[in-house]
Homo-oligomer: A and B are copies of this chain.
Amino acid sequence: MASKVTPISGFQEWLPTERIAELIVLDTIREVFELHGFASINTRAMEPVDRLTGQGEDADKEIYGVRRLAAGPDDTGDVSLGLHFDMTVPFARYVLENAGKLTFPFRRYQIQPAWRGERPQRGRYREFIQADVDIIDEGRLPDHFEGELLLVVADVFSRLPIGDYQIHVNDRKICEGFYLGLGIEDVTGTLRIVDKLDKIGADGVQKLLLDAGCTPKQTDQCLALAEIRSEDTGFVEQVRALGVQHELLDEGLAKLAAVIEVANEHAPGVVVADLRIARGLDYYTGTVYETMLTRDPGYGSICSGGRYDALATDGKRTFPGVGISIGVSRLLGKLITEEGLTASRETPVAVLVAVTDEDSRPESMRVATALRSRGIPTLVAPKATKFGKQIQFADRRGIPFVWFPGEDGDEVKDIRSGDQVPADRATWDPPAGDLRPSLVVPDVSSSGRKPNDRK
């Protein structure tokens, strides 16, 4: 064996118990995505480098280039490849490549790792899992999908113990229409400055806007817009009160109001219209989303996205879409690493079959085969040690039941209560809650996290 064994900064690996917690979270996300009618796709880990860098943000992305070591330093025969840094670029490419074989509107989910070479920090990794849903159409995309995606996310989070959170929603058209109505011409530049509000504060934004040529009146109005928030459609009246008129503003307000109404009917209490949300990426053109944990908004968004009118185009056809991405690794960095979310055991095993002596191992294996055939994860004890030791073996792994094969009939022991009862290998089932490992949510008081009253 070569170099010494050390973790690599920015590359998270879980121990078995934490990995089970991660799997439960991933399974839940996938289940909800499928319930909402999204089909899975998986794209290769690599894209041509020029496709990855064609996204305008390459400086941030810190792409990992990939190259066959055997190719040698002077071999330029292969296309230059890099690891994808998100699911959006590969998905856009996949849609273009397979457009003739897909049915639109195409709803897909994609749960895969991505890689960015940036400096690792809290909630930011060099290898991380994202769980994306997008709805993409050919030509025109109906507006109602922008509200529908919120329901998917709210449904996912209602099934996970993530604590209180809010999805902050805005519509780019509101900002654009408002700025245009104010007579500001550089809409994108203004958006970019206002987007820094959380980082540099109102004074900082004011200064940048004035520097960019806005009048004091325009500057005040931009800041006033960014301060508007409401959990219902009250934001419409607040914006109207600022007295700015523009067709695009009207359109944006109506769209956002529709999104908030749908959300409040199907997922009350989790969405807030927040007119400061802009999202850095240029390609968003309608609704934009960001999601914060109430107990720690500074941790950053755990789920973001928006509508884009032309993410993928081959010159002839254009594919508008709306998508949202759950930052699974970031979320678990908070829940598992910082707060101690874990699983009820370190193995899927529900039953350990004891082995009386090595000669009777075949009989213990027959018990295991019978239990497995009925869907019960089962392990045969690795050694025919004393029963006390075999029970200890189960206990150490969190396995709740130990099975004792007997000539006069089998018995099963719940090692938590100590109860041991006769049992038939052909019919016995563990209580439903013990069949699979489950999430163990850390004690509220010790971690400082707020109780999750949405369960």
Contacts and interface: CB of A to CB of B under 8 A. Distances in A.
Interface residues of A, number: 98
A102 interface: yes
Nearest to A93: B5
Contact of A69 (B14, B82, B396): B82
A378 interface: yes
A361 interface: yes
Q: Which of A8, A12, A35, A41 has the most CB of B within 10 A?
A: A35
Interface in A90-104: 92-94, 96-98, 101-103
A65 B65 CA distance: 8
A12 B15 CA distance: 30
A158 to B, nearest CB: 10
A53 interface: yes
Interface stretch (A188-196, A345-353, A420-428): A345-353
Nearest to A11: B44
B397 A142 contact: no
A124 interface: no
Nearest to A12: B44
A238 interface: no
A348 to B, nearest CB: 4
A425 to B, nearest CB: 14
Contacts of A12: 44
Given A35-B377, A382-B105, A64 B54 contact: no
Nearest to A7: B97
Given A93-B5, A155-B372, A377 B83 contact: no
Interface of A: 1-3, 5-8, 11-16, 19-20, 22-23, 34-46, 48-51, 53-54, 62-71, 79, 81-83, 92-94, 96-98, 101-103, 105, 107-108, 113, 115, 117, 127, 137, 142, 144-145, 148, 151, 155, 262, 265-266, 312-314, 346-349, 361-362, 365, 369, 372, 375-380, 382-383, 396-397
25 contacts: A2-B54, A8-B46, A13-B42, A13-B44, A15-B98, A15-B102, A16-B40, A16-B102, A19-B42, A23-B40, A34-B377, A35-B372, A36-B378, A37-B379, A39-B346, A45-B113, A64-B69, A65-B68, A103-B396, A103-B397, A142-B382, A148-B380, A262-B365, A265-B362, A266-B365
